[in-house]
Amino acid sequence: MKQIDMSSKEFLDEMEKTKKFTDKVCKQFGWVYHPDHEVVESVQMGLARHKLLYGKRFCPCFMVIEEDGKFKSADDRICPCKPAIEKEVPNEGKCHCGIFCSPEFVQNYNKEA
């Protein structure tokens, strides 16, 4: 497997693209980022890494497998994934990876903290 230097220009450039991508996802769906910045940053790093390794922003919380010479997520999760859009954020307030949340989830999260 290709090794990625997380301090390389290639990775840092992809990280910036990934941040812009996740900003657009939040805006498109009316979501907000998880209040814990470490959650957001770690998921963004995983998305950037997967984009460089596999050519797609597969959710970093799920295995990526190679099938017939092509990569795919074991649970077909490419960010933003269908389960997050249809079930997780509407029903649980956040996606499985935790980066994307409903505004209500974040309000309640801050009250519980």
| CATH number of the domain to which 101 belongs | 3.90.460.10
Q: Who has greater pLDDT, 66 or 43?
A: 43
Q: Who has greater pLDDT, 79 or 113?
A: 79
- Residue 97 falls inside a structural domain: yes
Residues 6+ apart with CB under 8 A from 41: none
Which of 78, 112, 99 lies closest to 35, judged by CA?
99
- Residue 70 falls inside a structural domain: yes
- Residue 11 falls inside a structural domain: no
Provide the pLDDT for residue 110.
Answer: 66
Q: How many domains does the chain divide into?
A: 1
Provide the pLDDT for residue 75.
Answer: 77
What's the rounded mean pLDDT across residues 52-72?
90
Q: Whole-angstrom Cα distance, residue 54 to residue 104?
A: 34
Structure tokens at 74: 């074991």
Number of Cβ within 10 Å of residue 35's Cβ equals 14
What is the model's pTM?
A: 0.91
Question: pLDDT grade, residue 73 (50/70/90)?
Answer: confident
Residue span of the structural domain in which 44 resides: 30-112
pLDDT tens-digit profile of 14-53? 999 999 999 999 999 999 999 999 999 999 999 999 999 9
Where is average pLDDT lowest: 14-28, 37-51, 66-80, 81-95? 66-80
- Residue 3 falls inside a structural domain: no
- Residue 22 falls inside a structural domain: no
Q: Whole-angstrom Cα distance, residue 45 to residue 11?
A: 9
- Residue 77 falls inside a structural domain: yes
Residue 18 · residue 44 · CB < 8 Å: yes
State the average pLDDT for the chain.
Answer: 92
